[in-house]
Amino acid sequence: MRLSLLDRSRTRAGYPDAAALGHTIERAVVAERLGYHRFWVAEHHAVPGIASASPPVLLGALGARTSTIRIGSGGVMLPHHQPLVVAEQFLMLDALYPDRVDLGVGRTLGFTVPVRRALRHGADAPDTFIEDIEELRDHLDGAAAITARPAAARTIPVFVLATGRGLAVAAALGLPVVIGGPVLSSPSLPDALATYRKEFRPSSRAPEPSVTVSLDVLVADSDAEARELALPEAWAMARSRQTGEFGPLEAVEAIRAQPWTSQLRDRVEAHLAQGAVGSPGTVRSQLDRVVEATGAVEIMAFSSTYDRNAQAASDAALRDLVLG
C-alpha cells in the first residue's frame, strides 16, 4: 500500500494567505522525510480558504525544497487551460525534477458563477474533457503536430480525478484514477469501479487499472481528540453551506465560542462522519474497509486542521499506521 498526501494550502484565521503556501512547502519537506510516496497540491480559484490557485507554480517551489518524494497536481482543471500550456508547464517541471512529477487532471469548474465567468467558462461551454486529455497526452509524449518544449525526455504519469464520468474517461484512455469526495460515498461506486476495471484499455502509462483513494484522514491518541482536530475543516464546510463562502480554518476554541444552530451542528456531524478520523485503531479499521471496498493500491490523505503541530503529529501517526 502506497501512502501519499494532498495539501490544499488551507488558509488559517490570523495568518496572511501567503503563509499557507509556506506551510504547504514545510509539510512536503516533512512528508518526504517520513517516507510518503507523493505530495500533491490543488487548484482552486478565488476561494478564501485555499491559497493554491496554480499547481505548476507551487510545484516548482516544492521541487526545489525536496529531492525524492513525487510531486504533482490533484489536480489541474483542464476546462480552464489549453492542453499545450499545461503540457509545457509539466514538461518544464519534469526537466527540473526528473522522474518525480505527476499530472492529475480534473474537470471541476469554479465554485460560483462569478468565478466561472472570470475563468471564461460559461454554462453552455461544451464538455471536451476526454478530447483535452488526449491532446494533452499527445503534447506530453511528443506525438502532436507541434512539439511542446522542453521536448519529452520520459513519460509523465497522468491520473484522472474521477468526478462525474471520470471513471469512464480513465477506462477509455487507459489511465489510473483518484476517487474521493461524493464519488467515494456513492452507492453506485462498486458498479462504477467494476465497469472501470472491465472496460480499461491498457496504455503506455498504465498497463492495468489502478485506483487511488483520497479521503480526509486525521489520527490522534483518541477518537475524541481526533474529532477536535477535524472540527475546523468540518466547521468551514458547514458554514460554507450557509454563507456560500469556504473560509479559512479557525481555532477550535474560536469555533466553540460561536453560536451553533441545530442545522449547523448536523452538517458538522455529517462531515465528521465522512473521513477516517480517530485513534490509530479506529483509523486503521476505517482505511481497511475503504481499501477492501475499492481495491485501492494507494491512500492519498487530504486532511487539514488549524493546529499545525497537531497536523504534523497526525501525518507521522498515519505514516506509522500504514507503512509501519
Residues 27-51: tens digit of each pLDDT: 999 999 999 999 999 999 999 999 9
- Residue 139: per-residue pLDDT: 97
> 48-99: per-residue pLDDT in tens?
999 999 999 999 999 999 999 999 999 999 989 999 999 999 999 999 999 9
pLDDT of residue 164: 66
Is a pLDDT exceeding 80 seen at residue 18? yes
Residue 321 pLDDT greater than 90, yes or no: yes
Across 7-16, 100-109, 187-196, the highest mean pLDDT is recorded for 7-16
The predicted pLDDT at position 123 comes to: 67
Percentage above 90 pLDDT, the chain:
84
Distance CA 12, CA 247 (A): 9
pLDDT given for residue 118 in this prediction: 87
Tell me the per-residue pLDDT of 198-235, one tens digit each, with 9 for 90 and over: 999 999 999 999 999 999 999 999 999 999 999 999 99
Please check whether residue 293 is in contact with residue 190, taking contact to mean a CB–CB distance below 8 angstroms: yes
Mean pLDDT of the chain: 94
Residue 211 amino acid letter: V
pLDDT at 23 over 80: yes
| Residue 111, CB-side half-sphere exposure with 13 Å CA sphere | 16
**Buried-state track 86-108, b at ≥16 Cβ within 10 A, e below 16:** bbbbbbbbbeebeebbbbbbbbb
Question: Residue 294 pLDDT more than 90?
Answer: yes
* pLDDT for residue 184: 85
What pTM was estimated for this model as a whole? 0.95
Region 7-20 average pLDDT: 97
If you average pLDDT over residues 255-281, what whole number do you get? 94
**Rounded distance between C-alpha atoms, residue 15 and residue 241, angstroms:** 23
- SS3 sequence of the chain: CEEEEEECCECECCCCHHHHHHHHHHHHHHHHHHCCCEEEECCCCCCCCECCCCHHHHHHHHHHHCCCCEEEEEEEEHHHCCHHHHHHHHHHHHHHCCCCEEEEEECCCCCCHHHHHHCCCCCCCCCCHHHHHHHHHHHHHCCCCCCCCCCCCCCCCEEEECCCCHHHHHHHHCCCEEEEHHHHHCCCHHHHHHHHHHHCCCCCCCCCCCEEEEECEEECCCHHHHHHHHHHHHHHHHHHHHHCCCCCECCHHHHHCCCCCHHHHHHHHHHHCCCEEECHHHHHHHHHHHHHHHCCCEEEECCCCCCHHHHHHHHHHHHHHHHC
Q: Does domain 2-218+278-323 have CATH number 3.10.105.10?
A: no
pLDDT for 163-185, tens place per residue? Answer: 768 899 999 999 999 999 888 88
Q: Which of 32, 26, 85, 33 is nearest to 55 (CA)?
A: 85
